[in-house]
A = this chain, B = another copy of it.
Amino acid sequence: MSISSRSMASKTQVGFVGLGNMGSPMAKNLLKHGYPVIATDVFPESCKELQELGAQILDSPAEVADKADRIITMLPSSPNVIEVYTGPNGILKKVKKGSLLIDSSTIDPAVSKEMALAAEKMGAVFMDAPVSGGVGAASSGKLTFMVGGVEEEFTAAKELLSCMGANVVYCGQVGTGQAAKICNNMLLAIGMIGTAETMNLGIRLGLDPKLLTKILNMSSGRCWSSDTYNPVPGVMEGVPSANNYQGGFGTTLMAKDLGLAQNTATNTKTPILLGSLAHQIFRMMCARGYAGKDFSSVFQFLREEEGQ
């Protein structure tokens, strides 16, 4: 039976499609754990480093699918995923029966479900497994994977994903990995803007920002954005607000994830009043010079400028 044959075939080759900022260090971690990697990317130069480390580079997702029966994809957005799976040189053109296809991109869960259906028609299994944690966590193998798909395949997926992440959480049917990721990031966005507004108001009312942070963190206002990633310069060290909002999680990426939250909410007719407004705020920021800064720069965005 195909499933057990895959499980027994551990340490046989693994396919990897998408060698960008995140995909590249993830694929390296597979190599480190002893898996032969067969990879491809639309930009040939992205493949060089991995090739030097011993990976085999092929020309298209279809060719990867022809050689490997376990494939991981890590792509920027929904259209790329659709192309890589169902396009003319896509994985499903040559996928083997019983293959395990794991998509770690952050995309609309409706697209994940479509891909799963398309894979099923070819006798393959598709799982969504988006990550939390940025490039640093990808390099150190400390990502968190939120996994959606058939429960019987979770063990097989976890075997691979645990080479690249510290936490691998099973979330439910296909698309729930994406759902969990989107939900977390929506609440994160709300908490961050809320913290920025609150700190700004407190400072205006005469409170010292460090003291206010201490009070919030011992009270019911406490949240990750106040106690771990405070957006006010001078309150914490080692966070983007201490480094002019360089590094971290870019405003553009947050706006993209909130766009997914907005779409899924619209499709499921779910009211998200704060989530929707948070989306619009990060969208405005992207248009006003904050696109490349860490999303905690919303504190700077809201703060009144001198001389006004």
Contact = CB atoms under 8 A, between A and B. Distances in A.
A146 B221 CA distance: 14
The A interface is mostly helix, strand or loop, or mixed, namely: helix
B187 A198 contact: yes
A289 B175 CA distance: 30
B224 A220 contact: yes
Interface in A85-130: 109
Closest 6 CB pairs of A and B: A223-B223, A190-B194, A187-B221, A179-B205, A287-B304, A184-B221
Contacts of A263: 263, 266
Contacts of A289: 305, 308
Interface string A207-236: 110011011101111111110110000000
Interface in A30-56: none
A215 B275 contact: no
Oligomer copy total: 4
A82 interface: no
A150 interface: no
Nearest to A249: B220
Nearest to A206: B176
A103 to B, nearest CB: 17
A202 interface: yes
Given A201-B264, A205-B176, A273-B197, A226 B187 contact: yes
Interface of A: 109, 132, 144, 146, 167, 169, 171-173, 175-176, 179-180, 182-188, 190-191, 193-195, 197-202, 204-208, 211-212, 214-216, 218-226, 228-229, 255, 259, 261-266, 268-281, 283-284, 286-289, 291, 302-305, 308
Contact of A275 (B167, B175, B201, B303): B201
Contacts of A188: 219-221
A179 B215 CA distance: 11
Given A264-B201, A284-B302, A289-B308, A179 B191 contact: no
Contacts of A222: 223-224
A235 to B, nearest CB: 14
Contacts of A303: 287
A197 B198 CA distance: 20
A220 B199 CA distance: 18
B224 A207 contact: no
Nearest to A223: B223
Contact of A269 (B180, B183, B185, B255): B255
B264 A262 contact: no
Contacts of A186: 194, 197-198, 201, 221
A305 B280 contact: no
Contact of A205 (B175, B212, B220, B273): B175
Given A215-B146, A271-B280, A308-B291, A207 B171 contact: yes
